[in-house]
A and B are shown apart, each in its own frame.
Chain A
Amino acid sequence: MEGRLLNLGPVFGSAGAAVASTAASICCIGPIGIALLGVNGAILAASIKPYGVYILGASLALLAFAHWSVRRRNRSAEGTTCSVRAGRATRLILWIATVMWFAAVAIQFAADRYWL
C-alpha cells in the first residue's frame, strides 16, 4: 500500500503540475482558452502564468521521479524487493502527463515567440 502511494504521489503530482502549466500557457489563446478552462479557470491560469517556468521545472522533476519510480519497481532484482508491476492506469496517466508536459513547453514557447 505504501509502495503504491509512493508511486501514485509523483504521478498525480506531475500530472497536476503538467495540467497547471498547460492551463497557464493556454489561458490567453482566445476563445479556446475560455472554452477549455472556463472564465474562472482562465483567471486562475492567468494568475499563475508568471510562475509558469517554475511550475514546468517542478513538474519535470516530478515526472522524472515518477518514471524512475515506475521503472525501478518493474526491474527490481529477484530477492531484493518484491517486484510489483505498476498498474496500467498509473503508467497511462504518467505518459499522458509526460505528453502534456511537452505540449505545455511547446505552447509556452509558441506563446512567447508569436504572442498568442
Chain B
Amino acid sequence: MKKTLMLALAPLTLMVGLEWRAPHDGGYVVLDRDAKPLTTAFNQDHGKVRLVMYVSPTCGGCLLGARDMQQKVLEKIDDPNVAAYVIWAPKNGGHEEHVDRVIDLVTDARARQYWDEYAAVAGPYDRMFDLAGPCAGVFALYGPDAKWDGETSPEPLLWQDAHADQRGREDNPKFDPDAMAEQIRALLS
C-alpha cells in the first residue's frame, strides 16, 4: 500500500517541481484604451526588425509559443536591431493577475511586455487576422519601415498562428519559430 501510494504521488511531486519558478524581476506596462505605450515604443524602434507576440496568459498554446519565441528566436539572434513586444491579452478567461505567473517566459532584454487591459490591441488584431475562438496566439513580424498609426497595427510581413490547427483557423499560417528566425535573419542581413 505504501509503495502504491508513493507511486501515485510521484507524478504530483513532479508537477509541483515543474511548477516551481524563481521570482521575476521584470515588469509589464498596462495599456490604456489607445495602447499608447505600445505604439510609441513600436514607432520609436523604427529601423529595427520588430516581433509582436499577441498572447493570452491562460492559454497553453500561447504560452508554448511565447516560450519558443524566447528560446528559438530571441536567444538565437543576438542583434540589437531586433525588438519584441509581448502583449498579454484578456482572452481565454485571462486577467491581469495571470500575467505575473507567465511574464518570465520571455526574458530577453529587447522585449517589452504589456497587459492589454481594455483589449485595445486585441480587438483590432482579432479583426485583422479574423481570429475564431477564444485564444490569441499570433506572432507577427514587422520590417524596419513599419509604422503604427492609429488603432490598427500595420500589415505584418509575416505572421503565424499558434492555433492554426484549431477549427476555423486551419487556413492561418502555422506556428513555426524556426521559420520566424530565418525571416528575421533575412531582414537583418
Contact = CB atoms under 8 A, between A and B. Distances in A.
Interface of A: 8, 12, 16, 19, 27-28, 30-34, 37-47, 49-50, 87, 89-90, 93, 112, 115-116
A40 B19 contact: yes
12 contacts: A8-B7, A28-B60, A30-B92, A30-B93, A32-B93, A37-B60, A38-B18, A43-B67, A44-B18, A46-B61, A46-B64, A89-B1
Contacts of A39: 19, 21, 63, 101-102, 105
Contacts of A42: 60, 63
Which residue among A8, A30, A38, A42 has the maximum number of chain B CB atoms within 10 Å of its CB? A30
Which residue among B4, B21, B93, B94 has the maximum number of chain A CB atoms within 10 Å of its CB? B4
B interface residue count range (under 10 / 10 to 19 / 20 to 34 / 35 or more): 20 to 34
B133 interface: yes
A114 B92 CA distance: 13
B15 interface: yes
Given A39-B105, A87-B1, A90-B4, A33 B18 contact: no
Contacts of B7: 8, 12
B63 A41 contact: no
Contacts of A93: 4, 8
